[in-house]
Structure 1
Amino acid sequence: MKKRFYFPALTAFPVSIFLLIGCQQRSSQSADGDGDPRFEGAISQPLVSHSYTADPSAHVFEGKIYVYPSHDIDAGTPENDNGDHFDMRDYHVFSMDSVGGEVTDHGVALKLEDIPWAGRQLWAPDAAHKNGKYYFYFPAKDKQDIFRIGVATSDKPTGPFAAEPEPIQGSFSMDPTVFTDTDSTSYLYFGGIWGGQLQRWASGEYDPQGSSTDLENDSLPALTPKVARLTDDMLQFAEAVRDVLILDENGQPLLTGDHDRRFFEGSWMHKYKDNYYLSYSTGDTHQLVYAIGDNPYGPFTYQGVIMTPVIGWTTHHSIVEHGGKWWLFYHDTQLSGGKTHLRNIKVTELQYDNDGRIRTINPYRNADPI
């Protein structure tokens, strides 16, 4: 099997101001992407152009869209397969009244030095609202260089957020996403292989000498995302972590070698017409795909592709309803001209067929993204 290079999905850079979606005025950071023919057919333009942003988790709070991305910086960290060059150090929160309106950068919401247990690498986050408070979930490597998931709280959706002194007990890996069901029960989904370290937990315990990835074991069931119900205070797991099983059309678990459909990272959960949609990145084949189940735990049956590959290697997304439409938030590397660790968030409309299937989106009408 050919070697597959992986650079995990994750974060961006400071400066606060108002920005217009599809802004045509490029900052110095955006110059590298100007005139790049690969982006000429892009179906949407960067939401933020004054800094690099990635992994957008979008939510509607009190009728307004809030986006919680990671914050890419050019830290000068050498590039490698474990993603050490994704050396993000803080988070910003962005908001807009509606898609197409002004985008506001609310400044630094949380930074590395204010997280007592964290050592480095603030990767893709998420947020939730409950009990009159806002909760911000984030992965970071602890002082032993093991990814854990932390939580921080605020009275405002924009922060600043105050981190709990310790990570969530029993948490590991990366890419946390919170789903709150119609009965007000909240669940945390997480996990990502390779640089995200999920494969090091295959035995139930952390194995620092474990396989660098499971991508070579083609005939075995693929590693799955994880899920746990959250406590009422949203600060801990209320139960043991469970596997999120993803099945093929014959009811069999997707295999490791099924690179076009298997889970890799970046899971997201949303509900549409009483069905639960688990979406995620296939990682080394760079697609956003989805599977459907009848409850938050699954199992979920694979359905198809949401979005074909973006330029920039990694793919990470969120799906939210607002203004009577559904929206897909995602990222590519238009501003940096294709540099994998300097990304920009985007948004486009998501549409369903009458039977609930999601229509596949090509992010570039006139260009080959590979």
Structure 2
Amino acid sequence: MIKEIKTLTLFASMMSLGIASSCQQAANKTAEKSADTTKKSKYLSAPLISEIYTADPSAHVFNDKIYIYPSHDVEAGTPENDNGDHFDMRDYHILSMDSIGGKVTKHEVALSVKDIPWAGRQLWAPDAAYKNGTYYLYFPVKDKQDVFRIGVATSKNPVGPFKAEPEPIKGSLSIDPAMFTDTDGSTYMYFGGIWGGQLQRWKDGKYDANGSKTDSQKENEPALSAKVAKMSGDMLSFDGEIKDVQILDKQGKPLLTKDHDRRFFEGAWMHKYNGKYYFTYSTGDTHYLAYAIGDNPYGPFTYQGTFMNPVQGWTTHHSILEITDKWYIFYHDTELSGKTHLRNVKVTELKRNADGTIQMIEPILN
């Protein structure tokens, strides 16, 4: 009883200091992490590989073969925090497979942080593209000032090794590059992420190292948005200005910062279906995958709903790909490790209703 009174008194004191919310977030994360390591779940899909930990799978078909460009999770011994310092990846291994359900090959190191001249630490979620006989690997990494930028590396082989350009892409910032080539041959990069992705620390083209650790902190204003830029012909730079990816509700109003169940957090992806552009993304701290539909690559996009419920583990990140007249979603969870920073990639079929809306996916079956 005495312990309970002391606990209540401490909590009341914390409330008066205005920090109860952050404590609750920390408690939620601790509970989730504990659940990860103890819960015996039944899963919709099995990990594609188990010899290394992989996450953030960006999938493409090149030359009639499926290639997956994931992060490579490692146990770095870094304490977990909201900046994501415990996600301390050092290199990339590309995966390939001839068909869904077929043998998965893990290839040798495609690119290492030590081979990127301007890099400091943390190679996060990559993506790839192909044009004019060259494969392009796009990657976010913190520079030597600890600011996330996006770089590009090239190879004549889809699995590398890749050679990084000497500088990051001019004007690039934040994380999670996702490459989309439209039917007219134009290629676009979608990118950005709040919290550890640092998007909230950029204003008027300048980075504020002392800026917010979470989002804009303006609860009743439009939420921070992902970014989109058209790529130049050589695929090494942006062709024109970086634009905001605007997500609107069905009344035409922007989603607000406080709308954590719907607003953009990170992990953008773009695909096209029946002439419409599907912008899909993670809601982050609420752990959903959501989607919005537009009429062109720049949007605006009208929010439609969520299409994947939370996976095991804190993060959720995906890609969507059409293969032989079926659609598939590549994603990750923590089935193998039970630890939020040691993940494994998976794939399952993505199904739609007759009107083009995406059916809900339940990654955990019990």
Which whole-Å deviations, capped at 9, do the CAs of 1:228-264 have from their partners, x for residues lacking one?
Answer: 1000000001111110000001000000011110000
Alignment of 1:41-56 (within 5 A): 41-56=42-57
Which structure would you say has the larger Rg?
2
What is the alpha-carbon distance in structure 2 between the residues aligned to residue 219 and residue 90 of structure 1? 40
Partner residue of 2:200?
199
What is the alpha-carbon distance in structure 1 between the residues aligned to residue 182 and residue 328 of structure 2? 19
Question: Contact (CA 8 Å) 2:153, 2:164: kept in 1 or not?
Answer: yes
Alignment of 1:217-236 (within 5 A): 217-236=218-237
What is the alpha-carbon distance in structure 2 between the residues aligned to residue 172 and residue 87 of structure 1? 18
What is the alpha-carbon distance in structure 1 between the residues aligned to residue 233 and residue 355 of structure 2? 35
Which whole-Å deviations, capped at 9, do the CAs of 1:109-159 have from their partners, x for residues lacking one?
Answer: 000110000000000000001111100000000011000000000001111
Partner SS state of residue 231, structure 1: coil
Matched, 1:169 2:170: yes
Partner residue of 2:346?
346
What is the alpha-carbon distance in structure 2 between the residues aligned to residue 205 and residue 291 of structure 1? 29
Which whole-Å deviations, capped at 9, do the CAs of 1:180-223 have from their partners, x for residues lacking one?
Answer: 00000000110000100000013331111111122642201100
For 1:171, give the aligned amino acid: S
Identical residues among aligned pairs (%): 67
Alignment of 1:146-295 (within 5 A): 146-214=147-215, 216-295=217-296
- The match for 1:2 among 21, 26, 46 is 21
What is the alpha-carbon distance in structure 2 between the residues aligned to residue 304 and residue 44 of structure 1? 23
Aligned residues: 339
Matched, 1:324 2:343: no
Superposed CA RMSD:
1.6
Moved more, 142-151 or 72-81: 72-81
For 2:362, give the aligned amino acid: N
Which whole-Å deviations, capped at 9, do the CAs of 1:301-323 have from their partners, x for residues lacking one?
Answer: 00011100011110000000112
Question: Contact (CA 8 Å) 1:123, 1:140: kept in 2 or not?
Answer: yes
* Cα drift, residue 77 of structure 1: 1.8
Partner SS state of residue 349, structure 2: strand
For 2:101, give the aligned amino acid: G
* Cα drift, residue 276 of structure 1: 0.2
What is the alpha-carbon distance in structure 2 between the residues aligned to residue 241 and residue 112 of structure 1? 26
Partner residue of 2:84?
83
Which ranges of 4 or more aligned residues in structure 1 deviate by more than 6 Å? none
For 1:355, give the aligned amino acid: D
Partner SS state of residue 284, structure 1: helix
What is the alpha-carbon distance in structure 2 between the residues aligned to residue 291 and residue 236 of structure 1? 27
Partner SS state of residue 55, structure 1: strand
What is the alpha-carbon distance in structure 1 between the residues aligned to residue 216 and residue 224 of structure 2? 9
In structure 2, stretches of 5+ residues that fail to align are: 1-19, 30-35
Partner residue of 1:26?
none
* Cα drift, residue 37 of structure 1: 4.4
What is the alpha-carbon distance in structure 1 between the residues aligned to residue 363 and residue 296 of structure 2? 30
Partner residue of 1:72?
73
Partner residue of 1:105?
106
What is the alpha-carbon distance in structure 2 between the residues aligned to residue 134 and residue 201 of structure 1? 30
Greater RCO structure (CA 8 Å; 6+ sep): 1
In structure 1, stretches of 5+ residues that fail to align are: 8-32
Q: Which structure has greater helix proportion? A: 2
Partner residue of 2:307?
306
* Cα drift, residue 324 of structure 1: 1.7
* Cα drift, residue 336 of structure 1: 0.2
Moved more, 211-220 or 171-180: 211-220
* Cα drift, residue 344 of structure 1: 0.3
What is the alpha-carbon distance in structure 1 between the residues aligned to residue 113 and residue 171 of structure 2? 21
Question: TM-score, structure 2 length as denominator?
Answer: 0.90
